[in-house]
Structure 1
Amino acid sequence: MLQQHLTRIRAGIADDPAAAIGSSKELVESLLKIILERSGEQYAPGEDMPALYKKVSAVLGLDAGSIPDSARGSDAVKKILRTLTTTLQGLAELRNVLGTGHGRTAPSPALARHAGLALNSTVTITEFLLDTWQDRVDRGLITLSS
């Protein structure tokens, strides 16, 4: 599923940047749902991406409040985690403004560079979330749900 999104995004950057932006947001949203489902967590069918991420960050221990002040580099880590939240919100907003969502009535002004930014943000976010999730599973902090 995730690979299909990634293939669609890469193929559309030059030819259909609006679709690539929409697919970038959808890839992140799909991953958030997969993590929640595989971790045995519930979410409502209509929950938006920020709400899904809030649940995932709690499951993975990624909210800035979960980082102890005594941890080495804690201030820097907290800044990056807050930026991750902001980037996810920005990706959702970019999809709403330049992407294919919400039944556009005019062509999108999205350019390939906007789609590339969405793709690169998506890859960074999804790799970090997958790596963190796998770490938590490997250490027995999360039990996989069937």
Structure 2
Amino acid sequence: MGDIDLDTGGREALDEALERLRRSSDDPALAIGTAKDLLESVAKFVLEELGMGVQKGAPFNQLWHVVQECLGVLSKNVDTDLAGYKEIRQIHQSSWDIARNVSALRNLQGTGHGRTLPTGVSKELTWLVVREACSVAEYMLRLLDKEQGR
């Protein structure tokens, strides 16, 4: 499927999730499920690093909304005086759309719910899903590092 390059900043739990993702490259359902797991792990990690408790069993969408709010990337909060603010809003919205859609795709085509049919997602599309999930994860980790002065 290709190389997966994501700088986790040496965070062990995230490195483990990333390594699982790399090992799943020949199994689209597993790769999609693992990409969603990585995004969820990143969200929980960010919240813990910011000193916020993570409610046990909190829905994925709720976690990501709080993370985006804490890191200042809710699309509605982009400064309208900034040149390109509409495009930046759309990019922030797209990062949310990627996370949400990876989670939804995992429920429909990935591992984790005991599906009775094989996945219908091609390896090529799986590669796109994985790369986009990694891009969003890395963006949030970079914002966390900036927030914490690293």
The residue aligned with 1:121 is 132
Corresponding residue for 2:114? 103
Length, aligned pairs only: 138
- CA–CA distance in structure 2, aligned partners of residues 8 and 118 of structure 1: 15
- Deviation >4 Å, runs of 4+: none
Q: Which residue of 2 aligns with 1:44?
A: 55
Q: CA deviation at 1:109?
A: 2.5
Provide structure 2 residue ranges, at least 5 long, that are not aligned to the other structure: 1-12
Which residue of the partner structure matches residue 71 of structure 1? 82
TM-score by length of 1: 0.87
The corresponding residue for 2:16 is 4
Identical-pair percentage: 29
Distance 1:23 1:101 in 2: 9
Per-residue deviation, residues 66-101 of structure 1 (Å, max 9, x unmatched): 211001221111010111111111101110111012
Aligned residue for 2:94? Answer: 83
Say if 2:36 is the partner of 1:25: yes
Residue identity in the other structure for 2:128: L
Q: Determine the C-alpha separation between the residues in 2 that align with 1:71 and 1:41.
A: 30
Alpha-carbon offset, residue 58 of structure 1: 1.0
TM-score, L = length of structure 2: 0.85
Per-residue CA deviations over 1:84-136 (Å, capped at 9, x if unaligned) read 11111110111011101212223223332232122101111011101111111
The amino acid across from 1:133 in the alignment is L
